[in-house]
Chains A and B, each alone.
Chain A
Amino acid sequence: MGFLTPLALLFASLALPILVLYMLKLRRRDVSVSSTLLWRRLLRDREANAPWQRLRRNWLLILQLLLLILLTLALARPFRSVPAVVSGSAVILLDASASMRAQDVAPNRFAVAQERVNELLARRRVGQRMTVILVGPQPVALGSSADDPSLVRRALREATPTQGAADWEAAFALAAGALTGIAEPEVVVVSDGGLPAGLPSLPGAVHFVPVGRGGENVAITALATRQGGVGPQAFVRVSNFGAQPVDVRVEFTVDGALFDARRLTVPAQGEGHLTLTELPPDLRALEARLAVEDALPLDDVAWAVHTPPASGRVLLVTSGNLFLERALRALPGREVVRLAPDQPLPTEPYDLYVYDGPVDHPLPAGNVWLIGPRETVEDGWRVEVGDVFSATTPTGFATDDPLLRYVDWEDVRVLRARAVAPPPAARILIEAAGGPLLLVAERPEGRLAVLTFDLHDSDLPLHVAFPILTANVVDWLMPSAPARLPTRVKPGEPVPIALDVQAAEDTWVVDPAGARHRVARTAGSPSFAATERLGLYHVENAAGERLASFAVNLFDAGESDIAPRETIEVGRVEVRPTSGDRTARQGLWPWFAGGALTVLALEWWVYHRGGV
């Protein structure tokens, strides 16, 4: 213990006047009584019985001297050296990544880390500012002790670890922002050490408070499906981060029902692989689960959404058109099958039929793109084709239509085209003096697009506009929403919900907990960001029909490897755990002041008890 202002101890000399005053006060008042006989006897008895009673009359003096001592000590600002991590104002970065859920320390790492932060907050000096940042996929500032310490404590108490990886770079940026303008700033990282390499340096000193002891952990680090020759196949990778080889059972659940369970031996610090074939053809969602007890249960389960491959098949009926075929084959995710005009249509359905030239048979049910039709197509629904016209300079161009986005028609020349009477409710996208050049319409059986000229009668295939137009038209004709959702989503990562249906009505996302989230329809492509939870998410329309699904998986070896790191690297400097040999001065004066108040109250009581 030491004193910040030892000179204040001189106040102790006030004891002298107190003693003098006390002596003066003790000059007794003279009172006449009829006889002192009884008093004399009484005192003789008492003093014989209890010698310490003589002391009792001096209680007030003792209490006053004690009060003086306590006040003097409080004024001298005593302090105690306590082991401390920080001495100045600091930002505490509390790791809330998935690995902090590990139960290698009871109850789990995050709870221990919360305790550490609480200790830091409790030991802070008066005026020492501490800001706590919860580092998850999106770092959150829990508050600063300068505002209201109890609020920080409550926020800390209510904080929970996330299920994803921590965004340390964002957290560091937040910390750097909070530390600007503060003298001697310090940063405390309370973590199990799973920090990425190459983090930027921070202002001030960086301290590392490690959490966790390390333990056995087995994790699914990959799960994927693909369309095999016979049916869907699944591939799973299991990583063992422990020091002992493990024999795990992997359970596969298909659309909610247990499908298969396999045994797999995974070597220590190694990986094991499994390929599951003969999955049901209508597989939509696959769940793989490790039947194992380890320190981090979070990564023992993974999900995969299987996308049926049939969604992108295009049948091209042509006598030979290299430009068109190339443009179609260049589209991602489209499987193009070519057919000669004289061949019969295959019975299996295609998602898009492209007729380059004459149409010899009735239009199939489905999406159809007619290019340079020569005669009227009649199939309960009529595309009337008339004479050839050569006035092909565009007079109307639907610039705002998404189908013509980025399409530059400036230098395109068309030799001749055929007049096509637009079907009812058709949208004419490009119109020339002689008639429409490009129109689209909705049929009951599917969508229809008509390009009214033969590509060989135009230099369009030579222009950049052609592949763009092809892509736009095919995209419109084949709204293949499920293929657009990403297959790998990390927790906290936003998912673009670029579904075609969103044009018409609201879209909802049901998260693994069963909560429905409305997807905001923004001007750009809407996205869904509430993906903190691991599991399957379903995209639904307002009526509750399931449109698509996506899975959020941890798949992060850095989080699954729960062995605590000895050091962390910040700004190319290795930070070792902060040992307890650093000390801070904890002020003790409030205790002395509180004691003085107590003594004061006691003195008042003694005075009144003695006086009345």
Chain B
Amino acid sequence: VIVDGTLLRKLETTAFRVRHARAGRTAGDRRSTKHGSSVEFADYRNYTRGDDLRRVDWNVYARLERPFVKLFDEEEDLAVHLLLDGSASMDWGAADEHKWTYALRLAAALGVVALIAGDRLSIAVLQDRSVRRRFGPLRGRGQVLRLFDWLGGREAAGTTDLNAALRAYALSGGRAGLVVLISDLFSPAGYVEGLTALAARGHELTLVHALSPDEVEPPLAGDLRLIDVETGDPQEVTIDGRMRALYRRRLLDWQEEARATCRRRDVLYVPLETSTPLERLLLRDLRRVGLLR
């Protein structure tokens, strides 16, 4: 997995952006695991019955004779989950546009962003009906080489039931945080329920829908029997100009459908063609949609 140095330097100034302030964070009902991190004053609010008395600002009480509770913006590290669809269909595409390679490079870059920003990084490869490989959770710049090393050993193979695998991750995925799922969505069983399950866990989801150019514009013609590399299912089809036009329309419909599904679940949808340079994706497209800043 190669992410070139120039890009790495540019990623130093980049970090994940959290769209929603989480109730759990500002309530401070969880002990911080991060030592030495400051607890900054945010605001006051009226005391209500049941508030922790230790949080009452007695100085203010003394002056005003009314109890106010001090609110703290508790700065906490962010949990970043990178989920890779490891099905055989991801093992597709010409050299530079190979989906799996692209997915690994993207995961490496996002992982670097997370590690540099001091976020808690977890990476998982989804295969079959579950999570087969995990990385992390780890934190800190020092883990970058380990990250690269780990990613270098990953391969896409077999079938993946995205629904099942996502549900499994939702159950076992640890702390709620940012989840970036990189997949081609070629999962016969579907992916919607899995996304719903993750969202229900409180994750903030981003779906990067990766397709290689020859999936967008298939260079096929004639009387063919198409063999699915993932499932091995054959499909007979006679492809002509008219058929290709229909395919393109169907593909756009499919992407639109995915976008709508995501919008309903407050999931960021990022359509991606693997011919797009990685740098442009990271520094422009992902910033534009609001995943990075």
Contact = CB atoms under 8 A, between A and B. Distances in A.
Interface of A: 25-26, 28-43, 45-46, 57, 609-612
B200 interface: no
A46 B246 contact: yes
A57 B222 contact: no
Nearest to A34: B92
Interface string B221-242: 1111111111101111110110
A30 B227 contact: yes
A35 B225 contact: no
- Size bin of chain B's contact surface: 35 or more
A39 B247 contact: yes
Contacts of B224: 28-31
A93 to B, nearest CB: 63
Nearest to B236: A28
A34 B220 contact: no
A611 B238 contact: no
Contacts of A42: 243, 246-247, 250
Q: Is the interface of B mostly helix, strand, loop or mixed?
A: mixed
Contacts, number: 88
A190 B240 CA distance: 62
A33 B228 contact: yes
B174 interface: no
Contacts of A46: 246
Nearest to B91: A34
B184 interface: yes
Given A38-B251, A42-B250, A611-B240, A31 B188 contact: no
Contacts of A33: 215, 218, 220, 226-229
A611 B235 contact: no
Given A35-B230, A37-B188, A43-B237, A29 B215 contact: no
A29 B250 contact: no
A32 B228 CA distance: 6
Interface in B240-257: 240-241, 243, 246-247, 250-251, 254
A31 B246 CA distance: 19
B212 interface: yes
B102 interface: no
Nearest to B187: A37
Contacts of B221: 611-612
B215 A34 contact: yes
21 contacts: A29-B222, A29-B224, A30-B227, A31-B227, A32-B226, A33-B226, A34-B92, A34-B184, A34-B230, A36-B231, A38-B247, A38-B251, A39-B226, A42-B247, A43-B237, A46-B246, A609-B240, A609-B241, A610-B240, A611-B222, A612-B221
A41 B237 CA distance: 12
A612 B241 contact: yes
* Residue among B99, B212, B222, B235 with the highest chain A CB neighbour number at 10 A: B235
A612 B239 CA distance: 10
Nearest to B227: A32
A611 to B, nearest CB: 7
Contacts of B246: 42, 46
A123 to B, nearest CB: 47
